[in-house]
Homo-oligomer: A and B are copies of this chain.
Amino acid sequence: MKAAILTIGDEILIGQITDTNSGWLARKMNDIGAEVVRMMSVADDIADIHRGFDQAFELADIVLVTGGLGPTKDDITKMAMSEYFDDELKFHQPSYDLIERMFNKRGIPLRDSHRVQCFLPSKATLIENNMGTAQGIWMEYKGKALLSMPGIPYEMKAIMKTGGGLEKIRTTFSSKAIAHRTILTAGEGETTIASLIESVESNLPDHIKLAFLPSLGRVRLRLSGLSDNQTKLEQEITLEVNKINELIPDLIFGYGNETLESAVGTLLKSKNLTIGTCESCTGGFLSHIISSVPGASAYYDGSIVSYSYTLKEKLLNVSSQTLNQEGAVSEATVREMVEGGLLQLNTDIVVSISGIAGPSGGTVEKPVGTIWLAVGNSFTTQTSKLQLGKNREKNIEYTAYYALNMVRKFVLHHY
């Protein structure tokens, strides 16, 4: 099966928005064994959309379209589709009822534009969007198909996943057996991991591929196979997963769609431990990712973000002597932040961070990207120092995930 991905929207062509939908869709299409042969961004213009449809259908069996399905006037995708497939837009009562129910629940009045939004191509199959008012529109034509979705990423993903869009594409076009397994690692970079598991990678069977998917502080290893026999394929992939597991057991924190934050959460819960954070340069981002896991209240009590010197002293009892002599970015400070945090937050474990996130604020001795971390309980504290680059956003994210991995190793070692 071949796929094309078409993005509609002037905002992409003027560079105002970076298109992340296409990359996400490409990965999902890969997962079901489809080859993405083209990505395209076209203007909010019917003739240009039609030209894009032509070019996409010339190459692909399934065309995934994002953008241009909202309730405002610049959203002309539906009209372009209706014309292209020689169809007409008709008012679709069930869609209107759905929006009405959704809005009544929240006490928001419906507008005329929502009525307009319910005019849909009469031959379309609708795919549910449980995150918004514009449903996915599926149209088939000469053995090929087009699925149009809104451009808001979480709505598009809802249509593909919970709405069943991806499954519909798979069952419409493919019969081959597909298997995927993702190994989740933290603590080493892509290059190091590649050299550690080189013996596995170079001996993989032809129909099984390994991809490295790095993000800040974490690397995912994705094994994917395509074959005629599902059971055999699953066994083959399991074999490779086990080999990798033997080579880098300490780096692996989970499998599949788990995240480092959920894996650490599960670990804490299984040991009946609670955690709190005391952050400075990460400004609450570590607290945010820990509490982003549903049910985090079982092991997460709270945090103190002490951005200023004053609050480090007042809320965390960091001594003014330490702050004046060693500085806020020092091993002594993060140790005292853990001690103060254990008293204030009353948790079993506290993790603390203090550093210079950038882009400015560094000195010769402590350049931008210098970051101290500590993890401790009432018996022992471990510290670590990072020397990162000058990008504020990247430093904050990398540091928070590094801290989470320190917590993971601390718990595994001490409990």
Contact = CB atoms under 8 A, between A and B. Distances in A.
Nearest to A303: B305
A291 B283 contact: yes
B39 A43 contact: no
A290 to B, nearest CB: 7
Contacts of A304: 302-305, 315
Contacts of A279: 284
Instruction: Give how many copies assemble into the complex.
Output: 2
Contact of A214 (B113, B152, B358): B152
A270 interface: no
Contacts of A111: 191-192, 195
Contacts of A42: 38
Given A39-B12, A180-B14, A285-B284, A306 B310 contact: no
Contact of A391 (B18, B131, B201, B297): B131
Contact of A224 (B10, B190, B290): B10
B18 A23 contact: yes
Contacts of A284: 277, 279, 284-288, 291, 303, 305
Q: Bin chain A's interface residue count.
A: 35 or more
Contacts of A243: none
A74 B76 CA distance: 39
A98 interface: no
Shortest 9 CB-CB distances between A and B: which pairs? A283-B291, A284-B287, A15-B26, A284-B284, A15-B27, A39-B41, A303-B305, A302-B311, A15-B23
6 contacts: A131-B394, A284-B305, A288-B288, A292-B396, A294-B392, A302-B315
Interface of A: 7, 9-20, 22-28, 30, 36-44, 48, 51, 55, 59, 70-74, 106-107, 111-114, 131, 152, 154, 180, 182, 190-192, 194-195, 201, 209-214, 222, 224, 277, 279, 282-288, 290-292, 294-297, 300-308, 310-311, 314-315, 344-346, 358-360, 387-389, 391-394, 396
